[in-house]
Copies of this chain bind each other. A is one copy, B any other.
Amino acid sequence: MCDFGQCLQCNNLDCFDERMDKMHEECGIFGVYSLDDKELDVAGMTYYGLYSLQHRGQESAGIAVSDSETIVYHKDMGLVPEIFDKVVLNHLKGTMAVGHVRYSTTGASRHENAQPIVVRSRNGQIALAHNGNIVNAAELREEMEQCGTIFQTTNDTEVLINLITKHSISTNILEEAVQKMMLDVNGSYGLILMTANKMLGVRDPYGIRPLCIGKTSTSYVIASESCALDAVNAEFIRDIEPGEIVVIENNEIRSIKSFNKKDTRLCIFEFVYFARPDSIIDGASVQQSRYEAGKRLAIEHPVEADIVIGVPDSGLSAALGYSRQSGIPYGEGIVKNRYVGRTFIQPSQGMREMAVRIKHNAIKQTIQGKRVVIIDDSIVRGTTTRRIVQILKKAGAKEVHMRVSSPPLKYPCYFGIDISSRKELVANKLSIDEIREMICADTLGYLSLEGLLETPIGAKCGFCAACLTGDYPIDVPEEGDKFSCGC
């Protein structure tokens, strides 16, 4: 358990909340290809696109641009607007750009792990941005090491680029090399590749991570989520299909679909937690899916109560759905401090009680004397949930009924979500009633798996729910194996 005083990595409370009690997906990617518009500010567009994908990663960001001869790039630790200013963007001139935002990893060499990775190879310069996780990266790396390849990072992306380059020896066509790479690797990936004069968007055969394409009058755009298309005023064309390679070259876009469409497996937590509510993924609205989850929760776990509230921000839609379905009024019961950021001082021994309220506070007028239904999207370790119940009770709630808009999290994710082992997951150790007791709630109800899978209304895909079921679409390492969660 992450004790405030002892855990070195948790030098802030926010970490306690975010890293330990919430899962995190690890990256957002964005690419733009200018259609003969020499004036188009592709770096600027990528800046806006990454800004709107910032929720997918706050540790580092980078942008690479090609002027059709040379690729130059800039990447650094920090938020998008901290890394890029006018001077930097003005140096990133070109007709194509690819960008990346990355969630935090630990370790000393974090700067080296920033993306896009830009290399020189027999294909010339290549920039690669990757969202996801390669399950057999260690084996692939070792194999290639035996053949004399060196690795400068612990990043899966370096494995991918090396594979692509190796395969380029037997074929001079980049997309064929990428296809061969896709046969080698197991795992989740959304990729954007850029050479001096073409751009590829690639999605893994199971479609575990999202990726979509859009269009403006003068460019094609590829992005992790549709909200980034909106951000640059691009029109949504379609999601890239699982296993598909989209190639943009000579101002034309074409598609290579060499993988039989298996049962596709989009990560269900994109809808539960990761994606922005204004995004639409594989046909389903994220916000609507959360709202629907709330409605289903109300059916599966009804309760007599006076008010329904959500934990901001991701619990609000579900709370609204629960309210609509149950007829119990929706209210604002919890305030989130918008300024709690990445740095935060550990509370001294005597002040932990205070630190509880730094991130969330209750609105007494809404809560006092009420039987409260409170909705959150998930429970990871249980500590934040316990704290929120505590805040509500202190504010005078007569009863607190916790409803969770996803089933219990029991299994680690090997496809890009930062839950490194089962041990952290409270639902892996305790029964639902024990969890209820631990979090001091009067009742506790989780949405059923069946219910959850129905929430992405209109989705044209299947889902990966392995963290809930243990049923992984791909062979994964034995429990207890060392597991390096790259991005």
Contact = CB atoms under 8 A, between A and B. Distances in A.
A470 interface: no
Interface in A324-362: 324, 329-332, 335, 337-341, 343-348, 350-351, 353-358, 361-362
Contacts of A54: 337, 339
A346 B89 CA distance: 11
Interface stretch (A184-192, A280-288, A413-421): A280-288
Contacts of A162: 148, 150
Nearest to A288: B365
A316 interface: yes
A108 interface: yes
Contacts of A345: 44, 47, 81, 84-86, 89
A365 to B, nearest CB: 4
A72 interface: yes
A145 interface: yes
A346 B162 CA distance: 38
A215 interface: no
Interface string A207-247: 00000000000000000000100111100000000000000
A422 to B, nearest CB: 26
B52 A357 contact: yes
A130 interface: no
Give the interface residue-count category, chain A. 35 or more
A90 to B, nearest CB: 9
Overall SS of chain A's interface: mixed
Given A278-B361, A338-B338, A341-B79, A119 B45 contact: no
Interface in A286-338: 287-288, 291, 313, 316-317, 320, 324, 329-332, 335, 337-338
A111 interface: yes
A276 B337 CA distance: 9
B278 A335 contact: yes
Q: How many copies of this chain does the complex contain?
A: 4
B152 A168 contact: no
Contacts of A227: 335, 361
B233 A353 contact: yes
Given A165-B150, A354-B233, A287 B348 contact: no
A48 interface: yes
A45 B354 contact: yes
19 contacts: A47-B345, A48-B354, A51-B340, A52-B357, A73-B109, A81-B344, A109-B118, A120-B152, A121-B145, A146-B169, A150-B161, A231-B354, A232-B354, A276-B361, A277-B332, A277-B363, A287-B363, A316-B332, A338-B338
Interface of A: 39-41, 44-45, 47-48, 51-52, 54-55, 58, 72-74, 76, 79-82, 84-86, 89, 91, 108-109, 111, 117-122, 126, 141, 145-152, 161-162, 165-166, 168-169, 227, 230-233, 276-278, 280, 285, 287-288, 291, 313, 316-317, 320, 324, 329-332, 335, 337-341, 343-348, 350-351, 353-358, 361-366
Q: Across the A-B interface, give the 7 residue pairs with the lowest CB-CB distance, nearest first.
A: A285-B365, A54-B339, A119-B150, A121-B150, A148-B166, A278-B335, A120-B151
